[in-house]
Amino acid sequence: MEGVNEKENEEVEAQKHSGPSELGKWAEIQDMLKKRVITEDDFPWRLPSSQAQHQQLRYVGGVDVCFSKEEPSMACGSLVVLDLHHALRLVHQCYTVLTLDVPYVPGFLAFREAPILVHLLEKMKSTASPFYPQVLMVDGNGLLHPRGFGLASHLGVLANLPTIGIGKNLHHVDGLTRSGVKELFEAEENRTKDLITLRGSSGFIWGVAMRSTQSSLKPLFVSIGHRISLDTAIKVVKMTCKFRVPEPIRQADIRSREHLHKHQIGSI
């Protein structure tokens, strides 16, 4: 794990390479795209049930971007699709490996990673794949973001796809803190609960902290990305959790690392 000082130094260096004018442009683009976010259910499918008269949710996608430890600018983007009707069986996987020249700047992760993931989605759509995801889980936040527009929302708007933000760490926004969430989970009245609503000081609901399995010691942070309500996002996440991290994200993460490793040793 990186030390705090090392991480802070990386962020300082990144911002040196992304001057005020560049960050200003990114902020303008975020503000423009943010206006297009839809925070309610906007899709033709229904959650799986015994009633077959409606189109049902079947194909749930997951995306992730991992980076080489030896060459930090080398990235591997992965898109996987799992079949809800067949015990989360993997039905599609695709990858892209490339070298990035866009630095990581806190609050602007999407400008580094979203183009990679949009490329994978467009590539899949161009082949008319029958497994194109009906909803996409993103290893990154949606509305639960310092600017209210994280990677999951950014990608959802660009791809015009229902997206769910899955955060493994909490952004400190609107008075929300990790220690505060921990205290809420440990409160006597919440000990049996698997969800804590993340209501900020302003009263705005940013998402939820979720104990995805009974054995989970650390919560996940689930938020709206685009074209889905928080209630539906929570239900989809619960349906796809075998471990702490929802299976679409877990598989995308595992497989992107494997693919990048194979690429680096020249076996693919």
Q: How far apart are CA 116 and CA 114, in angstroms?
A: 5
Residue type, 33: L
> What secondary structure letter does DSSP report for 46?
B
pLDDT-above-70 percentage for the chain? 90
- What pLDDT, on the 0 to 100 scale, is given for residue 60? 98
- What average pLDDT score do residues 181-200 get? 89
**Residue 11 pLDDT exceeds 50:** no
- What pLDDT, on the 0 to 100 scale, is given for residue 24? 92
- What average pLDDT score do residues 39-51 get? 89
**Residue 215 pLDDT exceeds 90:** no
Alpha-carbon torsion 223, 227, 232, 237, what sign? negative
- What pLDDT, on the 0 to 100 scale, is given for residue 268? 58
Mention every residue, 6+ apart, whose C-beta is less than 8 A from residue 77. Answer: 63, 64, 65, 95, 96, 98, 113, 116, 117, 119, 120, 256
Listed residue (200, 236, 180) closest to 62, CA to CA: 236
- Rg of the chain over Cα atoms, rounded to whole angstroms, equals 18
Using pLDDT thresholds of 50, 70 and 90, give the confidence band for residue 53: low
Instruction: Give the start-to-end residue ranges of the domains of the chain.
Output: 6-267
- What pLDDT, on the 0 to 100 scale, is given for residue 36? 98
pLDDT digits (tens, 9 = 90+) for 76-109: 999 999 999 999 999 999 999 999 999 899 999 9
What CATH topology corresponds to 6-267?
archaeoglobus fulgidus dsm 4304 fold (3.30.2170)
- What pLDDT, on the 0 to 100 scale, is given for residue 191? 78
Q: How far apart are CA 171 and CA 168, in angstroms?
A: 10
pLDDT digits (tens, 9 = 90+) for 146-176: 999 999 999 999 999 999 999 999 989 999 9
Burial of residue 140 (CB within 10 Å: 0-12, 13-18, 19+) is buried
**Coil vs helix vs strand at 257:** helix
- What pLDDT, on the 0 to 100 scale, is given for residue 237? 97
More confident residue, 183 or 266: 183
